[in-house]
Amino acid sequence: MFDFALGEPRLHQLCQMLVERNNVIIREFIRGGIDVVHFGEDIGTQTASIVSPATFHTWIVPSYKRMMKPVKDAGIIVDTHSDGYIVELVDNLIACGCDVLNPHDLCNGIDNIERTIKGRVCIKLDVDRQTIVPFGTRAEIHALIEEEVRRLGSPSGGLQSVCGVYPPTPPENIDAVCEALEKYRRYWWD
């Protein structure tokens, strides 16, 4: 992070080295005939991306493009993960070749996700794990998941739901999540 901020002159060389090493692994995945390559990054905090959009565009986008292009050229799905707020990076991520984006729901805001991602690529929505799922009622959990499915689901792009469950989430809330996901799973098909 300091190197990004201070413009470390060797940063370009470091990025090149990382891309070259990752592309060795990517080539092996492609050769193995896989269907999806997952790029796991944590590029967001609770309120903003870890680096500015300008820094992301300057330093990370060229590297992502070099890694994602062979995957796309092979007809393989590019799936990404990120913790935290990524709304300000969505256009860059899609331009790099992402087919699946994994935003956190409440951190990024359902309105923002609907505005920036819906219908463009598949949303692999990370259902709230900080407030409603661990501390909410069954009705609140159902209401959240129903709203997300109705607002973010789309025949173009698609919607997946992911829900990490951590202490102190009670078993009845886990049951409520599963029940709601089951209830709304076919909303866009029916």
Residue 133: the pLDDT is 98
| Nearest 10 degrees: Cα torsion 44, 155, 143, 112 | 30
Distance CA 80, CA 82 (A): 7
Would you give per-residue pLDDT tens digits along the chain (190 residues)?
A: 889 888 899 999 999 999 999 999 999 999 999 999 999 888 999 999 999 999 999 999 999 999 999 999 999 999 999 889 999 999 999 999 999 999 999 999 999 999 999 999 999 999 999 999 999 999 999 999 999 999 999 888 899 999 999 999 999 999 999 999 999 988 876 6
Residue 70: the pLDDT is 98
In DSSP notation, 116-169 reads HTTTTSEEEEE---SSHHHHS-HHHHHHHHHHHHHHH--TTT-EEEE----TT-
Token representation of residue 38: 């997952």
Per-domain residue ranges for the chain? 1-78, 103-190
Residue whose entry in the numeric block shows the structure tokens 């300057």? 58
Q: Among 86, 82, 23, which residue's Cα sits nearest to residue 52?
A: 86
The H or E element spanning position 52 is: none
Residue 7: the pLDDT is 86
Residues 6+ away with beta carbon under 8 Å from 31: none
The H or E element spanning position 19 is: helix 11-31
Contact 90, 119 (CB under 8 A): no
